[in-house]
Amino acid sequence: MVAVADKVAVVTGGRRGLGAALVDELLARGVRKVYSTARSAHVDDRPEVVTVELEVRSAESVAALARVAADAEIVFNNAGVLLPDALLTGDLDNATRTFDVNVFGPLRVARAFAPILATGGGGALVNMHSVLSWLAGSGAYGASKAAAWSVTNSLRLELAAQHTQVVGVHAGFIDTDMVSALDRPKATPAEIAARILDGLEAGDTEVLADDVTVGVKAGLSGPVEHLTFSAA
């Protein structure tokens, strides 16, 4: 259980969408400082926000962030990419990039910040997954989120000894640029950010951020052929 007030947080992909909403919600709950990252330089005039360039595909870039944010107590792995190419017929380079960003990116960040969190008493690591972690049909993106879910579950065990709270977040469709083309009901980024922080502060290990996700998780014990997604 990690209270947010007066803590120092890192939010990857904090420039827009859910990441920006997380930064806003952290500030509203009294965080002392937020490192907000993006792939290119950006400006945030709020005195509590420190903007940092980050490329999660680069170990050197992640290490540089860890040096800058050496006082971090909570890390949100939010940066991700959506390239929904089919696994058999899509661009294999896109599939490789998807896994590099969505799976190995958060792992690089976790490896870099684990010693920092340990020094501060444990803190918390929050990883963004998706309802598509559990649904076939979204190509490399869903496969990468399934892998990220597994990575998070293993990190929870590996980080237990240093008392780091590891939270996996699953959400359906959020009203961001990433899924703007999908004609589906969507939650606002602010709603999801608030639920994530509610779960973090309650000591949860997993946050199911909307009703769609709750329903899909409940179906995991059923026939696997029912676990499919269609964009239509």
Residue 231 lies in a domain: no
Q: What is the dihedral of CA 88, 94, 95, 97, to 10 degrees?
A: 170
pLDDT score of 89 more than 50: yes
Average pLDDT, stretch 130-150?
A: 93
Which has more confidence, 169 or 186?
A: 169
Is 187 a member of any domain?
yes
Q: Which two tokens stand for residue 175?
A: 């009203």
Q: Mean of the per-residue pLDDT values for the chain?
A: 92
Cβ-proximal residues to 22 (8 Å cutoff; 6+ apart), any chain: 11, 14, 76, 78, 193, 196, 197
pLDDT at 224: 74
8 A C-beta contact, residue 27 and residue 34: yes
Question: Is the separation of the CB atoms in 17 and 82 below 8 Å?
Answer: no
- The answer, yes or no, to whether residue 226 has pLDDT greater than 90, is no
Q: Global pTM?
A: 0.92
Q: How many domains does the chain have?
A: 1
Q: What is the pLDDT of residue 175?
A: 67
Asked whether residue 24 is assigned to any structural domain, the reply reads: yes
With contact defined as beta carbons under 8 Å apart, do 171 and 213 qualify?
Answer: yes
Q: Which domain holds residue 55?
A: 8-226
State residue 78's pLDDT score: 97
Asked if the structure places residue 160 within a domain, the reply is yes
> What contacts 157, CB < 8 A, 6 or more positions away?
none
Question: Which pLDDT band holds residue 228 (cuts at 50, 70, 90)?
Answer: confident
CATH number for the domain that contains residue 131? 3.40.50.720
User: Across residues 41-53, what is the average pLDDT?
Assistant: 96
Q: How many Cα atoms are found within 13 Å in the side-chain-facing hemisphere of 122?
A: 14
Tens digits of per-residue pLDDT, 174-216?
A: 766 555 455 556 689 999 999 999 999 999 999 999 988 998 9
The C-alpha atoms of residue 152 and residue 191 are separated, in whole angstroms, by: 23
Strands 33-38, 8-11: pairing is parallel
Q: How confident is the model at residue 229 (pLDDT cuts 50, 70, 90)?
A: low
Q: Does residue 3 lie within any of the structural domains?
A: no
Strands 124-128 and 165-170: parallel
Res 171 pLDDT > 70: yes
